[in-house]
Structure 1
Amino acid sequence: MPTSTLRVALNGVTGRMGYNQHLVRSILAIADQGGVVTADGDHVLLEPVLVGRNPEKLATVAARHGLDHWSTDLDSVLADPTVRVYFDAQATSARESAVRAAIAAGKHVYAEKPVASSAVEARGLAELADAAGVRHGVVHDKLYLPGLVKLRRLVTGGFFGRILSVRGEFGYWVFEGDWQTAQRPSWNYRAEDGGGIVTDMFCHWNYVLEDIAGAVRAVTAHAATHIPTRWDEGGQSYPATADDAAYGIFELEGGAVAQINSSWCVRVHRDELVEFQVDGTEGSAVAGLRDCRVQHRSHTPRPVWNPDLPPQEPFRHQWSPVPENAQLPNGFQAQWEQFIRDVVAGTDHVHDFHSGVRGIRLAEAGLLSSREGRRVELDDVAAAQR
């Protein structure tokens, strides 16, 4: 079984997302399965080099998993010719300069989203990476989750006919941090530190909508800060200056309309933390992180509105599950494997920095729409940023 080793610098894996999803459930999980299998049948083993600012945290993580290489000196890691890939999961405000340095060092670059603090900065990184001839990618993990994989299969198979609409619900209650510890870091709720649910989630919704129903052409959004005061990791109160909920209407190429609610101030009454319902002329589907259920035109019941009687139909039971048809890994791991295959083969990664630019542009358009109380066309925003 031919094998090769690819050294990967991982910056920001002492944080929650970087550690859980990228180090443990992706890089180390890939090692446990014997590497990434390429199109030629070779196995590429990944050797992680941990990078960060806190030596104690890095040493603890390295010791926990038996890793030999870690450093607080990013420049020296980037200068090492044996390190071929750089990954960044730092706070957004620190990402652009580090990614720029990695590109200058000739590294292939994979990054969490948003890849930069603005679409202009992200476009600059994309152009630099193109000019340097390195592979570049942005995390689009939702597309690799089982529920969305099944939904994409339905789209490819023509199940929906003409897609009419998409409705999405995302979110859960994030505790304020005073009487129960918050599930998310405090910087998420400070605009000055790059926080905000629009900046965080509209980047996701852009690529999900592109993949399922069409590119976003215009947005009308309302962003809100429902919880004005929160408590940080040290138990100190602070003013929440970033939006913690967003309500968006997205007009898509081809005429479909999407409505997506995103909130860290909502209690969950649905099967999964995120769900998308797609309605088309021939059928509908509801997809979450793992499951997907469908109702075809031929099986659609005929409800009749009658508020004087209790519900007579078991609506949820009238939908059929979409089968797995394949064993699907963790979504983050699946995209990591695809990115490594692209690096080895020298092919462009489909979810590249240019895709990341479009995601940030949608977030910026959403914030502009909310701020000015109007519909914003994405082409106008793109033209203004050139």
Structure 2
Amino acid sequence: MTSRTLRIAMNGVTGRMGYRQHLVRSLLAIRDQGGLELGDGRTLVPEPVLVGRREPALRAIAERHDLPHWTTDLDAVLADETIDVYFDAQATSARVTALGRAIAAGKHVYTEKPTATDLASALELARLADAAGIRHGVVQDKIFLPGLLKLKRLVDGGFFGEILSVRGEFGYWVFEGDWQDAQRPSWNYRAEDGGGISLDMFPHWAYVLGELFGRVTSVTALVTTHVPRRWDESGRPYAATADDAAYAILQLEGGAVAQLNSSWAVRVMRDELVEFQVDGTHGSAVAGLRRCRAQHRSATPRPVWDPELPATEPFREQWQEIPDNGTFENGFKAQWELFLRHVALGTPYHWDLLAGARGVQLAELGLRSSAEGRRLDVPELTL
């Protein structure tokens, strides 16, 4: 078996997601397992080249993982003909410019979402990438997680009958930063820096709903900033100009209705940080990132509403756990492997920059729906 090295410029690895999920748990994990077998007698070995603005942080990561190649010079990396792929996990506001430069340099690109802060820029990136003939992908990690893979198994098997509704709850309390450090960077709460939960989470909802239940055809949203004052990484107070909660009703192709709440100002009273309940004529299911439980029509209890008496039914115990029936990889690693195969072999891959633009479109329309106080249609996107 022969091996081939694929050099990947990774911009943004000093951030939490770029470091933990993409570098350590994805590319280094693939490298440590001996590479990615391509099925044709070859093995693909990723070689990360770290890129960023903070030299001490880059150096520390490189030394920790014995990575010889790192730089603060993005221009030099993009001019390097040995670099095959450019990956972006920077703050959203820096993404469009960097991706555009990578595409112009002829690099394949793989990027976190949102791909841009506005739909026009997201579509332009997709057009430029297609015109350049490069391979391009956008991280859409949630559909590769165990809970949603099990939920998809139920959908594909016809378990639900006609799907009527989807209800999603996502969020947790992000500390303001005064008496406890915030769990998210301060730019997330500044609209001028590309922050906001709508821009962060609506792109997730676009692909989760589209992959499992059908394309979103209309959106009605209320977007707000519940916590208007926060403290940054240096302990300085600042005004939160971006939304930290978004409440949406989405019509899906085929008629189902989705209700999705996203909030960084909510305390968790559920089994996982995100959960989806799907109700259909033949059964229902509740899925998180790891677990999925279901209740078939034949096993549905007969609750009776009586506010005079305490509830005695063990509702949670009336649901059946859906088994793993397999081994699940880290969701980010699983999608990286698919993208690397796409680069090396040209295998089909539809999670591209156009798919990323659909997520930006839903976020943009959600914000506009809230500002205008009305329901908006979601046109189907094409290049």
Q: TM-score range by the shorter chain?
A: over 0.9
**Aligned partner letter, 1:186:** S
- 1:141 alignment partner in structure 2: 141
Give distance in 2, aligned partners of 1:190 and 1:349.
Answer: 34
Unaligned residue ranges in structure 1 (runs of 5+): none
- 1:14 alignment partner in structure 2: 14
8 Å CA contact 1:17–1:89 kept in 2: the answer is yes
8 Å CA contact 1:275–1:289 kept in 2: the answer is yes
Residue 285 of structure 2 aligns to a residue whose secondary structure is: strand
- 1:88 alignment partner in structure 2: 88
Residue 83 of structure 1 aligns to a residue whose secondary structure is: coil
Give distance in 2, aligned partners of 1:41 and 1:54.
Answer: 40
Post-superposition Cα deviations, 1:283-336, rounded to whole Å, max 9, x if no partner, equal 111100100011111111111111111112111001111111111111111111
Give distance in 1, aligned partners of 2:53 and 2:373.
Answer: 41
Shift of 1:122: 0.9
Residue 45 of structure 1 aligns to a residue whose secondary structure is: strand
8 Å CA contact 1:5–1:47 kept in 2: the answer is yes
**Aligned partner letter, 1:226:** H
- 1:132 alignment partner in structure 2: 132
- 1:175 alignment partner in structure 2: 175
- 1:246 alignment partner in structure 2: 246
Q: 5 Å matches for 1:137-216?
A: 137-216=137-216
Shift of 1:36: 1.7
- 2:376 alignment partner in structure 1: 376
8 Å CA contact 1:135–1:348 kept in 2: the answer is no
Runs of 4+ in 1 over 6 A off after TM superposition: none
Shift of 1:138: 0.6
- 1:343 alignment partner in structure 2: 343
* Residues 1:44 and 2:44 aligned together: yes
Q: What is the alpha-carbon root mean square deviation over aligned residues?
A: 1.3
Give distance in 2, aligned partners of 1:349 and 1:64.
Answer: 33
Paired positions, count? 383
Give distance in 1, aligned partners of 2:39 and 2:331.
Answer: 20
Give distance in 2, aligned partners of 1:211 and 1:256.
Answer: 14
Post-superposition Cα deviations, 1:199-247, rounded to whole Å, max 9, x if no partner, equal 1000000000001111000000001100010000000000001100010
Shift of 1:347: 3.3
**Aligned partner letter, 1:103:** I
Give distance in 2, aligned partners of 1:315 and 1:40.
Answer: 51
Give distance in 2, aligned partners of 1:133 and 1:328.
Answer: 33
More divergent stretch after superposition (236-245 vs 116-125): 116-125
**Aligned partner letter, 2:3:** T
8 Å CA contact 1:185–1:233 kept in 2: the answer is yes
Q: TM-score, normalised by structure 2?
A: 0.98
Shift of 1:76: 1.1
Give distance in 2, aligned partners of 1:38 and 1:307.
Answer: 61
Shift of 1:153: 1.1
Shift of 1:38: 2.1
- 2:122 alignment partner in structure 1: 122
Shift of 1:159: 1.1
8 Å CA contact 1:13–1:50 kept in 2: the answer is yes
**Aligned partner letter, 1:24:** V
Structure 2 vs 1, CA of residues 118 and 18 (structure 1 numbering), >3 Å: closer, same or farther?
same
* Residues 1:76 and 2:112 aligned together: no
8 Å CA contact 1:136–1:348 kept in 2: the answer is no
Residue 379 of structure 2 aligns to a residue whose secondary structure is: helix
* Residues 1:366 and 2:375 aligned together: no
Give distance in 1, aligned partners of 2:30 and 2:350.
Answer: 21
Shift of 1:37: 2.4
Post-superposition Cα deviations, 1:344-380, rounded to whole Å, max 9, x if no partner, equal 1123422111111111000000000000111011129
Residue 125 of structure 2 aligns to a residue whose secondary structure is: helix
Unaligned residue ranges in structure 2 (runs of 5+): none
- 1:103 alignment partner in structure 2: 103
Residue 18 of structure 2 aligns to a residue whose secondary structure is: helix
Give distance in 2, aligned partners of 1:34 and 1:41.
Answer: 14
Give distance in 1, aligned partners of 2:104 and 2:57.
Answer: 28
- 1:325 alignment partner in structure 2: 325
Structure 2 vs 1, CA of residues 348 and 102 (structure 1 numbering), >3 Å: closer, same or farther?
farther
Post-superposition Cα deviations, 1:127-173, rounded to whole Å, max 9, x if no partner, equal 11111111111110001011011111111111111111000000000
**Aligned partner letter, 2:316:** R
**Aligned partner letter, 1:196:** G
Give distance in 1, aligned partners of 2:211 and 2:308.
Answer: 42
Give distance in 1, aligned partners of 2:187 and 2:85.
Answer: 27
Give distance in 1, aligned partners of 2:87 and 2:196.
Answer: 23
**Aligned partner letter, 1:210:** G
- 1:67 alignment partner in structure 2: 67
Identity of aligned residues (%): 67
**Aligned partner letter, 1:267:** R
Give distance in 1, aligned partners of 2:118 and 2:134.
Answer: 21
Residue 149 of structure 1 aligns to a residue whose secondary structure is: helix
Q: TM-score, normalised by structure 1?
A: 0.97
**Aligned partner letter, 1:258:** A
- 2:232 alignment partner in structure 1: 232
**Aligned partner letter, 2:313:** E
Give distance in 2, aligned partners of 1:312 and 1:40.
Answer: 59
Give distance in 1, aligned partners of 2:8 and 2:156.
Answer: 34
Shift of 1:41: 5.4
Give distance in 1, aligned partners of 2:34 and 2:167.
Answer: 40
8 Å CA contact 1:220–1:370 kept in 2: the answer is yes
Q: 5 Å matches for 1:294-305?
A: 294-305=294-305
